[in-house]
Amino acid sequence: MPDRYTPQVIDHLVRPRNAGEIPDPSGRGESGHEACGDVASFTVGISGNVLEEVRYKVFGCAACVAAGSALSELVAGKHLVEAARVSKIDIQDAIGGPLPLGKEHALTLVLDALHKAFEDHWNRTAGEMLLNGAKMPGKGGRSVVAAMSGGVDSAVTALLLQEAGYDVATVTFRLHDGEKGSRSCCSPDTVLFARDTAHRMGLPHFTLNLKELFNRRVMHDFVGSYQEGRTPNPCVACNAHVKFHASAFLADEIGYHHVATGHYARGEEGPTLGRPVDESKDQTYVLWPVPQELLARTVFPLGEYRKTEVRAIAEERGLAVAYTPESQDICFIPDGNYRRFVRKKVTAEPGDVVDDEGQVLGRHGGVVDFTVGQRRGIGVSAPTPLYVKEVRPSTGQVVVGRKKDLEVREVAVRDLNLFLDPGYAACVQVRYNSRPVACSVEETADGEWIAYLAEPVMGVAPGQSAVFYTEDGNRVVGGGVVARRAA
């Protein structure tokens, strides 16, 4: 690292470019560095996806002032896609090389402020579109917006598409206020890491702030489900209402056709979903609610690879994500304690633990602590293990029974999303890691389906997903939400 500033840095300090603020900008972004107190802000004027005007303000050290000036000069007049491709290395080159030791944060700071201005622009552009799940028709061409979470799967997805000749833009979503340093797919650190990964691959990177949408469509449903005695699957809700719609929104705005994710699945004729090569990573179960018109424009490159191969590709290409750990199950609950999370949001009332005959066996602290099939934490002693058989929020009762009592031969399913004719439904999967069970289906007068199972299945929980597959078990016919345990 040099111990002094380059002539280019001095030049930007003496003759700052684009300093100031746009009075009525298309987007505004600010980023601060906690350690030294530096703050950078950008305002942008955008018309027809072109940065017609860029202004920056920096309160802090000379390195940040020069970096902000250089970045504003690099992106002024560019198309948003090209501006989103500008990296820390590009800024460093523009100021004549590396900054002195301890000043490198200036590059990250100003770049983050600019991207937050882009983020603000997309929020203003989207308005209610994202909240209402609106979609626009795709535009032609071999171009794709790839969702990038900061992990190895999404990075290799973007890489494979790039190597296949696609024009790739990447996007990371801010879904909630994740903790710094957490493994959440949208923590503050992860957004920066995903951006840096994309830029090292030479790809443009955008962020979309979807906190309000995620809170409304995923977190509220998660908490409300436990209040109502249902067992939610937040990944399913996110795929249904957030990630795919947001990717398509950005693709439409910048004129790209396809969207892509790092899910392990295959796109099949229909369009429908097919199981991937790596059956141990199969994610078709959580993708059933994706609207068919969105599925038609979605690419799943990892459907043809095993996880070990994906990590090997990342290592061979020198991607820093090659050995990142697997992401956690629920991204907005870093410690995995969903009961504590739910209890922070609702008031839980005590109630009775009862058997099938209604005999009171004990007391519990709230129905939000229980889900069908649960064994631990029931708080009742018995000669044989007891399991939660039913949760009754209206009476505050938790019904328990023996393991065999959890077996069901019929499952009611609502809110169906179909890819293929229902006549192809030959088996159903009722949990993420369970095997499909042969079934026949019958539609009820109120639009639900009843799945008649060829063999009993245990612990089918209302609120979870039931996904129907073709006879060979490889293609998704459609899916829905378990409504209740049929008698």
Distance between CA 437 and CA 40 in Å, rounded? 57
User: Before 271, cis peptide (omega within 30)?
Assistant: yes
The continuous run of DSSP H or E covering 401 comes out as strand 397-401
The secondary structure of the chain in percent helix, strand, coil, rounded to multiples of 5, reads: 35, 25, 40
Beta strands in 337-396 (DSSP E): 351-354, 360-364, 387-392
φ, ψ at 454 (rounded to 5°)? -75, -15
Structural contact between residues 14 and 6, judged by C-beta atoms closer than 8 angstroms: no
Q: What does 327-339 look like in DSSP terms, one character per residue?
A: PPSSTT-TT--HH
Q: Identity (one letter) of the amino acid at 479? A: G
Inter-CA distances, 176 with 132, 184, 245, 311, Å: 18, 10, 17, 28
CA distance linking residue 24 with residue 77, whole number of Å:
18
Q: How far apart are CA 357 and CA 337, in angstroms?
A: 32
Q: Rounded CA gap, 190 and 178, in Å?
A: 9
Q: Are strands 258-260 and 205-209 parallel, antiparallel or unpaired?
A: unpaired
List Cβ neighbours of 182 (8 Å cut-off, separation of 6 or more). 189, 190, 328, 334
- Given the DSSP bridges, would you call strands 476-485 and 407-418 parallel, antiparallel or unpaired? antiparallel
Cα–Cα dist 367/369, whole Å: 5
What distance in Å separates the CA atoms of residue 477 and residue 84, rounded to the nearest whole number? 39
Q: Per DSSP, what are the bridge partners of residue 354?
A: 360, 399
Closest CA to 204 of 239, 246, 166: 166
Tally of CB atoms within 10 A around 458:
16
| Token reading at 332 | 């907005």
Q: Are 51 and 85 in contact (CB under 8 A)?
A: no
Q: At 419, list the tokens.
A: 């890819």
Burial of 337 from C-beta contacts in 10 A (0-12 / 13-18 / 19+): exposed
Active site residues: 238, 331
Q: Kindly state the DSSP code that residue 463 receives in the 8-state scheme.
A: T
- DSSP class per residue in 244-259: HHHHHHHHHHHT--EE
Identity of residue 63: A
Three-state SS at 91: helix
